[in-house]
A and B are shown apart, each in its own frame.
Chain A
Amino acid sequence: MVAKLHVLVCLDGHPKSHTLVAAAKRMALELGCSWSVFYVELAYAGVGRAARKEAAVRILTEAENAGARVLQSEHFDARAATLDYINSCLNAGEVITHIIIGQHAGTISSRLFQRSTVEEIARRYGQTMRLTTIPLEGDTLPDSLFWDHFSIGSLTLRSFATSTVTVGFALFITQVMQWLLPASLERSNWANATLVFLFAVVFISLRLGLLPAMVASLLSVAAIDYFYTAPIYQFNIGQVSDLISSSIFLSVAAVVSIMGGNVRANAKTALDREERSRALYDISRLTADATNQHQILEILDREVHDLLDMDIVILLARKSDSHALDIQATDIESDFDKYPAEAALEARDLEAVAKCWNESLSSGFGTMRGMGSSWRFEVLETANNRVGVFGIKVPLKKKLDTGFGQFTSMLADQIALTIERAALVEQMNESRFREERETLRSMLLSSVSHDLKTPLASIIGSISVMRSLRKNERLTPEQEDVLTKTALEEAQRLDSFITNILSMTRIDSGDIEFSIRPNEPMKPLQRVIKSLRSRLEGRDLVIDDQSKGLPVEMDAMMTGQVLQNVIDNAVKYSPEGTPVTVSLHREDHVFRYVVRDRGMGIPTDKLDRIFDKYERLNHTDSQVAGTGLGLAIARSVMEAQGGSITVGNHPDGGAEFTLVFQIEGEEKEGDQV
């Protein structure tokens, strides 16, 4: 087995811990091995001041940026936590060759304690690892105050009232006890009463902290003095017993507040952590469905703000190939897209952004490259390249913990991944779209050639037959009639194909002018009937005109083409000999043409796609001549006229197309004048 060298550095909250990190980094570089940092956050430190925590965040960020694996733990006992961690590493099969640990020169207690940590490690692992101790000068936690150990609580009107009510309640209980118990048990009664009050103090201390608990203590002492110390029902302040009970009560309050503070600090850290993992989870979940960058940025902005109550900014490099390492702070605004655009970054923030981008390291708040910025910046890096910088604004009053640095860098990784994914999706869609367009184009080409060549084949065939029959002087007038009619019909069909294709192109490119004016709705229909005469041979075209002859605003020519396409469609898709019905309805605000055939109807799953351009191209059959453009043109034309076209199946069978025109009401016209 190849023994992998590994350097472990163990930190606690000492402000000079960075010397340990530097030593470990140097050693790891010399040995060419990996290294990790283990940081124990003493549980009571959770109550302490933000500055110390910021220092720890900075050291850990630094270590992480320098390539260390960073682990954190909260514990009451740094020694136990450190030994646990070493053990768990060894159990996991990791080989640790060097351990670096700080030797405090602090108070007697911390010296004793630290020596025992070092000695314990040396005793247990001295044989297999090299232990380096580095003396750390100054107090363990020099900027922590004595009072940091306590959960002070605040003395507000509300906490004061709660204390009073709690003590009052204790008094009520003791009074009830006195009333229930016989007078002969008066001594034990007094002792029980004291315990009840003590309980009240403990309760307040745990819930509200030291100051309210002190109020509760004093109130309790006063109550005991008045109600339970002879002579009862009068105050005898200044007695020795009062002093003793006061001190006991106050000590209990203090001890309990320390414990309560620790518990609360731990709970707070756990809550923070939970909140952050939830935030990461939520962000990945919410951005999963977003398909473009804009959507993602919007979601991120909203969610991070909601979850953490902090502002964020995302700066994305304009040129994706921009690997420039010497971006100036002054160029940031022009070289990056900022989101949200209104995020205000001052000169020193931009300085920090430039640093972050150029060196690919965290910068700003809580890092060695702070620049006095209140923003924390992380570089957004994907597998391929750097895409931008992510910033999160740390509010002044926000209490930070040491996990913050890790959180922001994880958040940045998450964002980078999300942005990369969106870019990939966009790319994929683009290429799929191109591919589809290419397929459509070639399908259209073959369909168009089919639809042009079929009528041409009929025309050329008919005429060539006529020619050879005439050459042999065998052409009868009947034959000539039939062949001429066939050729003519097919030529007309060809003409209508070409018109459709040209219209579609012109509608698509917006190169068509509609002349919309009042027209009698029978007018375009009559023209269509004329031009479809031969197509309609052997068919009943039933016209049911209920339009009352009133004019409708429309482009008569284009509407005629729509009707022609729809009626032609009805003829194509219904058995020979069955009738086609066109009915014209006029109601208050709409006019409708309804074209119905007696064919098989349209399968329900195709109803909503039937107007799609080239829909027919998706079928390999070519049962009926036509590019499939007819209905697409119908829809385009109807929409361009402010109307619509719908399709459905008639309850008695057959498809039913409805062309709807809106009729402007008089009052509306009046409004417009």
Chain B
Amino acid sequence: MSCLENKTILAIDDTAAIRTFLRISLMDQGVNFVEASSALEGLRMLEQHKPDVVVLDLGLPDRDGLDILPEIKRSHEGNAPIVVVLTVRNDRRTKDTAAKRGADAYMTKPFEMEDLVEVLQNQLR
């Protein structure tokens, strides 16, 4: 029914509450949902699950999201996942840097789940 069905989405975010509602909402739509609370764990999950989309927070405890963005985009030999940046940072410079490093979409927190779902659907279509 939705183009999200059976897709693997990895959420890298250190806020448990965010991961919780992402999980409930996306799993309800048939998404194969995996999550990580740190950059390191996220990269490990990336190898392990080869997700179609990575939802990436920038303010991670061990490394900045912007730092691992190029690594994510380089993974899986040309079959790199779509990256949706999800952050409270709302400044021009961060947005430009994210775009330059390969982010496919950029959303600022707080956001409504419907908007994120729409972005994900657009990206996967």
Contacts and interface: CB of A to CB of B under 8 A. Distances in A.
Interface of A: 449-450, 453-462, 464-465, 468-469, 474, 479, 482-483, 486, 489-490, 620-625
A461 B88 CA distance: 13
A450 B21 contact: no
B59 A457 contact: no
B20 A486 contact: yes
Contacts of A625: 15
B113 interface: yes
A461 B61 contact: no
A149 B114 CA distance: 110
A450 B62 CA distance: 17
Contacts of B64: 620-621
Contacts of B111: 457, 460-461
Q: In which size bucket is the chain B interface?
A: 20 to 34
B24 A490 contact: no
B9 to A, nearest CB: 15
A457 B61 CA distance: 18
A468 B114 CA distance: 8
B88 A458 contact: no
Given A453-B109, A454-B109, A469-B28, A464 B17 contact: no
A479 B24 contact: yes
Interface of B: 14-15, 17-18, 20-22, 24-25, 28, 59-62, 64, 88-89, 109-114
A490 B16 CA distance: 10
B59 A458 contact: no
Contacts of B62: 623
A76 to B, nearest CB: 80
Contacts of B17: 455, 458, 461-462, 486, 489-490
Contacts of A489: 17
B88 A454 contact: yes
Contact of B20 (A453, A454, A482, A620): A482
22 contacts: A453-B109, A456-B110, A457-B18, A457-B109, A458-B17, A458-B20, A458-B110, A461-B110, A462-B20, A464-B114, A465-B21, A468-B113, A469-B24, A469-B25, A486-B20, A622-B59, A623-B14, A623-B59, A623-B60, A623-B62, A624-B61, A625-B15
A464 B113 contact: yes
Contacts of A620: 64
Nearest to A620: B64
Given A455-B17, A469-B28, A486-B21, A621 B112 contact: no
A489 B17 CA distance: 9
A474 B114 CA distance: 15
B15 A458 contact: yes
A460 B14 contact: no
Nearest to A493: B17
Contacts, number: 80
B21 A621 contact: no
Given A469-B24, A483-B24, 20 more contacts: A449-B88, A453-B109, A454-B109, A456-B109, A457-B18, A457-B110, A457-B111, A458-B18, A458-B21, A460-B110, A460-B111, A460-B112, A461-B110, A461-B113, A464-B113, A468-B25, A483-B21, A486-B21, A621-B59, A623-B59
Contacts of A482: 20, 24
Contacts of A465: 21, 24-25, 113
Contacts of A449: 88
Contacts of A624: 61
A510 B30 CA distance: 56
Contacts of B89: 450
Contacts of B21: 458, 461-462, 465, 483, 486
Contacts of B60: 623
A269 B61 CA distance: 73
A454 B13 CA distance: 11
A47 to B, nearest CB: 80
Contacts of A474: 28
B45 to A, nearest CB: 18
B55 to A, nearest CB: 12
Contacts of B15: 454, 457-458, 625
A490 B60 CA distance: 18
B37 to A, nearest CB: 10
Contact of B88 (A457, A460, A464, A490): A457
A659 to B, nearest CB: 27
B98 to A, nearest CB: 16
A453 B110 contact: yes
Contacts of B20: 458, 462, 482-483, 486
A453 B24 CA distance: 21
A474 B27 CA distance: 12
Contacts of B28: 469, 474, 479
A456 to B, nearest CB: 5
**Which 6 A-B residue pairs are closest in the complex by CB-CB distance?**
A623-B61, A458-B17, A457-B109, A457-B110, A622-B59, A464-B112
A75 to B, nearest CB: 75
B39 to A, nearest CB: 10
A457 B11 CA distance: 15
A359 B15 CA distance: 73
A196 to B, nearest CB: 96
Nearest to B61: A623
A623 B64 CA distance: 10
A464 B22 CA distance: 11
A465 B26 CA distance: 9
Name the residue in A458, A459, A461, A621 with the highest tally of chain B Cβ atoms < 10 Å from its Cβ. A461
Contacts of A458: 15, 17-18, 20-21, 110
A467 to B, nearest CB: 8
Contacts of A462: 17, 20-21
Contacts of B61: 621-624
A523 to B, nearest CB: 30
A459 to B, nearest CB: 8
Contacts of B113: 461, 464-465, 468
B24 to A, nearest CB: 5
Contacts of A461: 17-18, 21-22, 110-113
Contacts of A455: 17
A549 B112 CA distance: 50
A620 B60 CA distance: 10
A460 B116 CA distance: 12
Contact of A450 (B18, B24, B88): B88
Nearest to B17: A458
Contacts of A456: 109-110
Given A460-B111, A461-B113, A474-B28, A450 B59 contact: yes
A295 B38 CA distance: 53
